[in-house]
Amino acid sequence: MDSLQELNREIQSCKRCDLFFSRKRAVCGTGESNPQIMIIGEAPGAREDETGIPFVGRSGRLLRDVMGIAGLDMDSIYISNAVRCRPKIGKSPRISEIRKCSNFLRTEINILHPQILIPMGNSPLKSLRSVMGIDFGPISEIEGSIFVIGNIFVAPQFHPAAILRNPKRYERFKDNFLKLRNFVYDVRKMDMAEIEKNYRIRHINGA
């Protein structure tokens, strides 16, 4: 598959799992076609299911607010999800649903070649496990860390929905994005040796 247009057509017609029975719209990724950063969310919510656009509900508003505070331009970022159809209300995606959607994420990464992946929550980490062959562990233990796999940096963060459920995490969530802003700028101008002097980078060998 050579283009996002082809991929999005496949996502919109996908019937790989039972979620297609209840969805209103499959939600494709959106954003910059040559992004430095790719954000990976969990799955569509009610608003996303209605519009077919990722991160347009309360979680999306919080994410945009924090990225605005950090000075990160949402228009220069690509946003996607681990699962492309809305799970059952109040439920996280099942591992079987994540696995059946993981090839969509793999294709996006291969087409877009982002420098930095930001998986937000446990579902994107599980999807990256299928894509990269790496078990990053639970988000509660690694959020705020920076990994490097080949030529891609992975910077896991809490999902904004987790912040809405537990506002005590908001300051850490914001601080992580302020630190991430500096990292994003430094990646543009520094080589790996310089980056490693300034950040605690965790090297991982993928599959």
Per-residue tokens: 169: 């995490």
Interval 97-123 mean pLDDT: 97
Which residues span the domain enclosing 60? 4-203
Q: Is 95 a residue whose pLDDT tops 60?
A: yes
pLDDT in tens, 7-34: 999 999 999 999 999 999 999 999 999 9
From CA 94, how far away is CA 44, in angstroms rounded? 14
40, amino acid identity? I
Q: Is 205 a residue whose pLDDT tops 80?
A: no
Interval 54-67 mean pLDDT: 95
Per-residue tokens: 59: 């979680």
Q: Is 75 a residue whose pLDDT tops 90?
A: no
Q: Is 73 a residue whose pLDDT tops 60?
A: yes
Burial tier of 101 (Cβ tally within 10 Å: 0-12, 13-18, 19+): buried
Burial code of 164-187, b = ≥16 C-beta within 10 A, e = fewer? eeeeeeeeebbebbeebeebbeeb
Which among 102, 79, 83, 99 is positioned nearest to 91, based on CA atoms?
83
From CA 207, how far away is CA 202, in angstroms rounded? 16
pLDDT in tens, 115-138: 999 999 999 999 999 999 999 999
Residue 14 belongs to domain with CATH number: 3.40.470.10
Question: What pLDDT band is residue 89 in, cutting at 50, 70 and 90?
Answer: confident
- Could you give the number of structural domains in the chain? 1
Interval 83-106 mean pLDDT: 93
Interval 74-87 mean pLDDT: 93
Give the pTM: 0.94
From CA 6, how far away is CA 141, in angstroms rounded? 37
Per-residue tokens: 52: 């077919």
From CA 161, how far away is CA 171, in angstroms rounded? 14
Q: What's the mean per-residue pLDDT of the chain?
A: 94
pLDDT in tens, 132-185: 999 999 999 999 999 999 889 999 999 999 999 999 999 999 999 999 999 999
Other C-beta atoms closer than 10 Å to the C-beta of 103 total 16
The whole-number pLDDT of residue 206 equals 56
The whole-number pLDDT of residue 204 equals 84
- The secondary structure of residue 120, as a DSSP letter, is B
The whole-number pLDDT of residue 175 equals 96
